[in-house]
């Protein structure tokens, strides 16, 4: 059975490994969707406010132009109109927790 993330069609392909992650890194890429979950911003629950495609979990990842591709940098320094630094820290915690969950799953 083939399953897709709910927002799969918002992006050109599935996340894999970014081009410029440090040696030995893999599967660091992720896509982020910022939603108006309850409709408090747009009036319509589930409205997509922003998307970030191909950002990296690796703090040393770079884009083809040499700028940072680390998701916190991309969101905070470059583009986000909706996310505050507090929200970025919460997102980082979720990424760490997902990695811990993945490690626990691998040990079973």
* pLDDT tens profile 24-63: 677 888 888 888 888 877 888 888 888 889 999 888 888 8
pLDDT exceeds cutoff 50 at 103: no
**Stretch 7-18: mean pLDDT, rounded?**
86
Distance CA 58, CA 26 (A): 9
Dihedral, 106, 16, 97, 31 alpha carbons, nearest 10 = -150
Mean pLDDT of the chain: 75
| Residue boundaries of the structural domains of the chain | 8-83
Band (pLDDT 50/70/90 cuts) for residue 105 is: very low
Handedness of CA 23, 20, 27, 107 (dihedral sign): positive
């Amino acid at each position: 059975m083939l399953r897709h993330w709910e927002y799969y069609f918002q992006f050109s392909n599935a996340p894999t490994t970014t081009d410029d992650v440090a040696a030995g890194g893999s599967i660091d890429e992720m896509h982020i969707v910022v939603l108006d979950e309850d409709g408090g911003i747009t009036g319509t629950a589930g409205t997509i406010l922003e998307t970030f495609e191909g950002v990296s979990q690796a703090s040393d990842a770079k884009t083809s132009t040499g700028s940072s591709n680390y998701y916190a940098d991309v969101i905070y320094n470059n583009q986000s109109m909706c996310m505050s630094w507090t929200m970025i820290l919460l997102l980082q915690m979720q990424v760490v927790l997902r990695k811990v969950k993945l490690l626990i799953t691998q040990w079973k």
